[in-house]
A = this chain, B = another copy of it.
Amino acid sequence: MTVHTGRHFLQIPGPTNVPDRVLRAMDMPTMDHRGPEFAEIGFAVLSAMQRVFRTKQPVIIYPSSGTGAWEAAIVNTLQPGDKVLMCETGQFAVLWHGIADKFKLDVDFISGDWRHGADLEQIEARLSADKAHKIKAVCVVHNETSTACVTYPRDVRKILDTLKHPALLMVDTISGLGSLEYEHDAWGIDVSIAGSQKGLMLPPGLGFNAVSEKALAVAKANPGMRSYWDWQEVININKAGTWPYTPATNLLFGLREAVKMLEEEGFENVFARHKRHSEATRAAIKVWGLETQCQEQGAHSPALTAVRVPDGHDADHFRKIVLENFDMSLGTGLNKVKGKVFRIGHIGHFNDLMLMGTLSGVEMGLDLAKVPHRGGGVLAAMEVLKGHDAAQSKAVA
């Protein structure tokens, strides 16, 4: 076995690289979750997450994975038999559909080819046809981590508003929040779903729901069984800066520090950085002569890029070679793109030179794995990065 040295390149699209400051903030003695010192932290993270989601409404923080936050969105607002509209943008949409099935929802699943964002025309058509307002919720994935295609929730809100359709708008922004613009209130989102291990730069272990007034009202009226995920109980007890159970204190220590870091950089800068890295990555891919999985102009994810390998080649064999030779983890292709796609995460705590190390590893790996490609992708990526930096330098000076 090869012993690796230097830092591992963790370039899956989440969990992402956790900053030292965040790890060190978590590396502190745990504390009395009912004491006054903890309440300060409780209030701080609740308010920080409102700023991150861009909402004045409550944010619920769960000790859970992101899948838990999906389930929370469902069990608070929907009952067995309720009709929901979902869009097959990729594997995470499929998984969320699976949870909806388990809670016996009636899912209208708009099919997709996994290479585009949600099909807005179909959403409009089905909502428009739903004169009886049987559809209780429209569920979209903001940043489909399996395909690197973005769906813009604002577009869905516009459709709902235009049609005056009362369905709730639920958005999975698990890998979007903290990497892409997101406006829970301004975009009229009813339930936002997020997790800690992506743009928030934390280890996994926290799930989030941001909830509109309307969603809260729906939940209050909903007799469906729930306990752990029940919003109202958490919201009530959060008023005292604590939780109805022992919260994941040390992850909350980290969350406070992580949001501080995002705010020090400035969200606009954070989003611009992710876009720049995405653009540079695509420039490299173009030179390599490979295809991105995403085929929709304007829908390319700033957070990650999914790349197709040519027919006859196995993306996972390529990933294995990259891992063994260059100690870099790339994302695997999921479900129906297994073996056909690998994914490059450029999300979270990241910078230009980490991206260049990443893309160099991909370019060398393509060669070692004998995946046909043209060399020099990294040069194209550097052109993109330099352009931005030069522009930025000018602006700063």
Contact = CB atoms under 8 A, between A and B. Distances in A.
Contact of A390 (B2, B368, B375): B368
Contact of A17 (B6, B16, B63): B6
B12 A351 contact: no
A115 interface: no
A288 interface: no
Contact of A376 (B67, B197, B266, B379): B379
Number of copies of this chain that the complex holds: 4
Contacts of A155: none
A288 to B, nearest CB: 13
Contacts of A230: 102
A350 B6 CA distance: 4
Interface centre among A8, A29, A98, A248 (most CB of B within 10 A): A248
A249 B197 CA distance: 10
Nearest to A327: B351
Nearest to A270: B5
Given A325-B393, A351-B326, A353-B328, A204 B368 contact: no
A103 interface: yes
B351 A360 contact: no
Interface in A270-291: 270, 273
Interface stretch (A18-26, A297-305, A306-314): A18-26
B246 A204 contact: yes
Contact of A71 (B14, B197, B227, B329): B227
Contacts of A12: 32, 34
A246 B197 contact: yes
A66 interface: yes
Interface bracket on A: 35 or more
Interface string A385-397: 1100110110010
A265 interface: yes
A221 interface: no
A244 interface: yes
A33 B332 CA distance: 11
A368 B386 contact: yes
Interface of A: 2-10, 12, 14-18, 20, 23-24, 26-35, 62-68, 71, 80, 98-99, 102-104, 195, 197, 203-205, 225-228, 230, 243-251, 261, 264-266, 269-270, 273, 321, 323-329, 332, 349-358, 360-361, 363-364, 367-368, 375-376, 378-379, 382, 385-386, 389-390, 392-393, 396
23 contacts: A3-B264, A3-B265, A5-B265, A6-B350, A9-B353, A10-B31, A31-B329, A63-B64, A65-B248, A66-B245, A68-B245, A102-B227, A102-B230, A204-B247, A225-B225, A321-B393, A326-B352, A326-B389, A353-B357, A356-B378, A360-B360, A364-B382, A368-B390
